[in-house]
Chain A
Amino acid sequence: MDLKKQNSIFVDEQMIDELSSKGIISKSAHDYALALLYPTQNLGLWVSRLLLILGLTLSLSGIIYFFAYNWTKISPSTKLYSIQASIFLCLISSYFYGLQKLSGKILLLSASVLVGVFLAVFGQIYQTGADNYNLFMVWSLLIFPLVILSNFIPLWLLWLSVSNIFLLFYWEQKVLPSHEVKTVIYSCLVIFNIIFLSLYELFTHRGVTWLQNQWTRILLILIILTFSLITPVNLLYRSETKYSVIFGTFFSIIIHIALYKIYRFKIPCVKVVTATLISSCILIEIVAIKIILFDFQRADAIRLLILAYLSIHLFRFLTKKLNIIIKKMSNSNV
């Protein structure tokens, strides 16, 4: 086995146990390897972090329950001032700790969340009659400067979530789309999130250090794929198919092809290719069900058999293809 391959294989307990059970390595080699993998000195650190996380989670939940119990008894001004004080405290503490430290970033994240809480409480106290999209729009605008300063992915993801929710509510409550074009928003959300994915890839390529982790890309891809599948799913629920749904389905197909091409050849990533292929299977199945079955309640038995036959071959073909792709990409150490 060449060194490159040896470097790419990571050892785990299952592998060591299997080597030992087959008599390939001795018990002392087995124990030695496990001691390397799981050093006992980490136990103290693990326990202390477990205690901290459990303690904070239960204590904070208790505080929330306390406020919930006393909510009607607390005056509106106390409610607003206490939240404002919390935001201020988080911002000051974040400045004090500095944004280079994780604790500073988490405090900034907490402040951003509390901004949303403040707006919700404000809306509850002063019954302005404003639509939900207003809350998310203002929240998104207010925390944007903090997001830019933070260089912190969870805060960016919070901002992205709030913005997506704003766009959804805006479409439903302000634009008031007709039945014909109701699903167009999902294609818009796909484009919106692709812009951020592109920015992520651009800055990662330029070597921005705080972006260098794969799970952000995978999370963004999953969001894009989820939004791109919502419109095709409507094919199954509408007796007469709207043009917007057909357009959305074609758009979804293009997105899937584009993502596959980019993450297979340009920016190789096995997990993204796998997620895209799984999503493509779902998409193809939806289209197949729509074409073959037409109507669920009066499904013709032969059509079900045809669909079963097609599904077997489709999934077998895609699974084989994925297996080959993953092997090729693994050999290139992707």
Chain B
Amino acid sequence: MFNFTNSINLQQLLHLWQKDGILNSSELEKTQSFIENQYQRKDIPLMYILIGLGAFITAFCLIAFLVITGIVNRSITGSFIWSFIFIALACFFHRKRNCKDQLYYNFSAQNTFYLMVAGKILFVIAFSEFFDGATNLNIAFAISIITVITYYIYELPLDRFLSLSAILFSIFFVIIEKNYGLLTDILINSFFFLQILVAALLLTKKKVKNAYIPLAYATVFSLCYIVYYFTTTSKIGYWNNTNIHNLIYIKAVLTTSLVSLIIFVAKKTVTKWKTEPIILACLSSILLGFISPPIVILAICFMILGYANHQKLLLTLGALLIPIFIYYYYYNLDVDLMTKSIILMSSGMLFIVGYFYMKVRKLDKEEIV
């Protein structure tokens, strides 16, 4: 269902470029030699699994050796010192890695990653102990400080993604830790809205600096968790429970995001976007905002964004959110299964009506390129 690209090999593309006069012969030669070099250096993705596995075992053994021998001791000062040593070593080896040997390059990157993880964990533990215990606030501060320090020095995308995700999740846990009534609601909704803005900016822009791509994906995962949290602890069924949050704001933000995305994709892919199908799609999205759980709207946003930007990760994430949500929806939320059944079936019916509308209007016809 998600394979909507044409499969074109290099020979076909070069032939078409030349046939339609898009590129001249010297440009074609440059293109060929560039791709030849890139293709030879291209990593096979499955190799990363092998390299990651080896790096994990190696790093685990090394760190366990240091802990068991007591070289890494447990005092606050000792933990701080060792955290800085690990982080400094990770940064040093990361900078000194041999770029010519691609395999050793990847292996070194993975090993330094585990050094960096160990260093950051030790720093967070030491920081929390220094400031009277592992509270959510202390953890959030510690992770933020160490991430800011190392973000532009240690440039591994995975490390950046995990650190930023940790910051976003820890801030969220700080906000929901204690219930201050309306203030908590305002904070959660503002935090959610800010993340929507950041994700929208980073995921819809054509050219984003490599340094900010991990932030985009960290925001995506954080949004998934927040919406899941709202879906399972909303005011439906808990009318008298003041600890639980209202869904209205979050649904309004998600619905607006969905409508904006539809218009964005329509402008990108078709010449005339103010047409009946697009307008109906926007109106249906608003109706969906009223009847559907927020996680369904978020999943659709991801799928549309993934399709528009040809990002399989977002597309897959959106597709996976639905069954995960259906599974947890069964057990969470203190309303009876009949109410849940009605919510699911009405959302489903809306989509099926949309499908038949497209079939009747012949908007689903595929043209072969």
Contact = CB atoms under 8 A, between A and B. Distances in A.
A38 interface: yes
Contact of B4 (A11, A25, A45): A45
Contacts of A304: 61-62, 64-65, 68
Contact of A43 (B7, B69, B269): B269
A207 interface: no
A203 to B, nearest CB: 26
Main SS of the interface on chain B?
helix
Interface stretch (B52-60, B179-187, B213-221): B52-60
B53 A278 contact: yes
A58 B296 CA distance: 10
B14 interface: yes
Contact of A52 (B11, B27, B326, B351): B351
Nearest to B64: A304
B344 interface: yes
Contact of A59 (B307, B345, B366): B345
B69 A323 contact: no
Contacts of A54: 296, 300, 322, 348, 351
A274 interface: yes
B321 to A, nearest CB: 11
Contacts of A49: 1, 364
A270 B45 CA distance: 12
A47 B307 CA distance: 10
A175 interface: no
Contacts of A66: 337-338, 341, 345
A74 interface: no
Interface in B24-47: 27, 30-36, 38-39, 44, 46-47
Nearest to B1: A49
Contact of A11 (B10, B22, B36, B265): B10
Interface in B243-264: none
B50 A11 contact: no
Interface stretch (B116-124, B170-178, B223-231, B353-361): B353-361
A7 B47 CA distance: 24
Contacts of A219: none
B202 to A, nearest CB: 16
B5 interface: yes
B9 A10 contact: yes
A41 interface: yes
Interface string B68-86: 1100000000000000000
B61 A48 contact: no
Given A29-B22, A311-B58, A315-B53, 14 more contacts: A11-B13, A24-B31, A25-B27, A25-B31, A36-B6, A36-B8, A37-B5, A40-B270, A43-B269, A44-B365, A58-B344, A275-B46, A311-B54, A315-B58
Interface of A: 1, 3, 5-11, 13, 15, 18-19, 22, 24-26, 28-29, 32-33, 36-63, 65-66, 68-70, 270-271, 274-275, 277-278, 281-282, 285, 299, 301, 304-305, 307-308, 311-312, 314-316, 318-320, 322-323, 326
Among all A-B residue pairs, the 7 with the closest Cβ atoms: A315-B54, A59-B348, A55-B351, A58-B348, A62-B345, A62-B344, A48-B364
Interface of B: 1-2, 4-11, 13-14, 16-17, 20, 22-23, 27, 30-36, 38-39, 44, 46-47, 49-51, 53-55, 57-58, 61-62, 64-65, 68-69, 103-104, 107, 265, 269-270, 296, 300, 303, 307, 310, 322-323, 326, 330, 336-338, 340-345, 347-352, 354-355, 358-359, 363-367, 369
28 contacts: A6-B9, A15-B35, A29-B23, A32-B16, A43-B269, A44-B366, A55-B354, A56-B348, A58-B296, A58-B351, A59-B345, A59-B349, A61-B344, A62-B345, A65-B337, A65-B341, A66-B345, A70-B338, A278-B46, A278-B50, A278-B53, A285-B57, A304-B62, A305-B62, A312-B58, A316-B107, A319-B51, A323-B47
